[in-house]
Structure 1
Amino acid sequence: MLKLYTDYKTQCCFMDCQLYEFLYIKENKTWTEAQQYCREKHTDLVTVTNMKDMKRLIRNSPGSMKEAWIGLYDQTHGTRTWYWSLPGVEFDEREANWKHGEPNDAGTENCGIIWKHLQWGDVSCNRQTQFICYDGNDLYIYF
């Protein structure tokens, strides 16, 4: 049974009959705080491997989402190697959707963000912004 819930802080889309959901969280947090929130309440920060699902989520997001944390990070400090936060999922550069000129490694930009136009960037992990969680356990849609 599919249940619908209303929560002013989240927006979710049920994607292509898969047993997962994306939740757009309208709270400003650092990347680490966002990851902790997603892991405590859901599964993890979102892994972006399906642009069709991302387009649907962004199109249906409440308000005017300009950017959101995704589960992309680099902690190699020097050798640019990106990872997904979700354990067991490897980053594939062929699936990347970097904005032209990104990642640009300006300062200490080790965390990934997605903008409304669906392109990615690297920004400081200490920046506070909204984020997208992934939940692979429930069959709920939040509006």
Structure 2
Amino acid sequence: MSLAQHLERELKHLDAFIELLEAEHRSLSQADVDGEQLQQQASDKQTHMARLESLETQRRNALKTLGYGDTRRASEQAAIDAGCQPTWQRFLERALHAKQLNQRNGILIEARMTQNHRILRFLNDTASKTLYGPNGQARPGSRGISSRA
């Protein structure tokens, strides 16, 4: 397989990964997040990432075998020599875009987790403060419903 063909295959998988990241962002942006859907998307992301890593390893190994080395500059030179430098540039741009999308989603996930933690802490604090005594009456100083209207 030529370098150009390999890069096209990597781009195809990278574009599928980007579509998944965009779908994850839409899921995270909803008011009511579907946990099962997010879990499936996370699993799919892991699968795509493993495939992309495998393809990258194959490409790097092939370039090493051809004497190009394992640097970004060596990869660029190989693409120039193979006449597929525009594909290489598109691949780098899409990889950067995927990285940015993944970071953005990570920020959204962290914000959701922080919000959920605050809500749980509030609910735990509120639940630990008993509003009513054993006789069913509001405790003195509580904000329970009083008999005064």
Relative to the length of structure 2, the TM-score reads 0.23
Relative to the length of structure 1, the TM-score reads 0.24
Larger radius of gyration: 2
Q: Which has the higher contact order (CA 8 A, sep 6+)?
A: 1
Structure having the larger proportion of residues in strand? 1
